[in-house]
Amino acid sequence: MADAGIAVSVILPVITKTSQFDSIMRFAAEINGKYEDLISFGAVFPGDPEYKEHLRLLTNYGFKGIKLHPDYHGVDLDAKESMDIIYEASSLEMIVSVHAGIDIGLPDKPCSTPQMAAHVIDEIHPDRLVLAHTGGWKLWDDVESLLAGRDVFMDLSFTDGYIEDVQWKRIMRAHGADRCLFGTDSPWSGQKETIESLRRLDLTDEEYEKILSGTAGALLGYEI
């Protein structure tokens, strides 16, 4: 963070089974209590019979949001189990950050496609849903046709090098900088390198301000 000039980082833990909820919440809470420049989200597993209670517990402990990774869960983004969590979290004004697109380690059956994301948006209208990897890793044409300009946020993590600059910039412009967030996917992409890749796109100063801090600050209710 110091090397990249980053003031605050958001950490997104992934839960792979219901029984991990308590241990991940404890660890995330310790991070939030110890560091002023780190904000850890919590996590809830789709199909958890206590998902409502767990989301309320996270809210009571001050967590800003949760992370979902449909491919690691083995549950589609628009399956009832996932949408129940997104709906409940949204009603609690929590941010829901979701892996989107193909997972590099599980490429055969994506569980979080732009089509699924569009279904979620149409069905439950979440106002704090963040789709990682510019809306859908390596499914850029579908992102551009189905999601760009929709009422959803996109983080720009782990995109550079896997998309043509002209399409990446076109998607950002069509979507709007006020719904795009700087992000990385450590350890596969670094903060400094990702900032440099964004600077290469020659966006406006206003677009950079929103992408690098303004959009995230507004979402988190945090002055960056």
Task: Give yes or no for a contact between 9 and 37, defined as CB atoms under 8 angstroms apart.
Answer: yes
Q: Are 43 and 85 in contact (CB under 8 A)?
A: no
CA distances to 72, 90, 101, 139, 158 from 104, in Å: 11, 28, 9, 12, 11
- Is the confidence at residue 223, as pLDDT, over 80? no
* Helix (H), strand (E) at residue 96: strand 95-98
The confidence score (pLDDT) of residue 224 equals 62
Considering the four listed CATH numbers 3.90.1150.10, 3.20.20.140, 3.40.190.10, 3.40.50.300, the one that applies to the domain covering 46-218 is 3.20.20.140
* pTM attached to this predicted model: 0.97
Amino acid 222: pLDDT: 80
Q: pLDDT confidence of 100, banded at 50, 70, 90?
A: very high
Domain boundary assignment for the chain: 46-218
Of the candidates 98, 88, 108, which has an alpha carbon nearest to the alpha carbon of residue 133? 98
Q: What is the pLDDT of residues 71-94, one digit of tens each?
A: 999 999 999 999 999 999 999 999
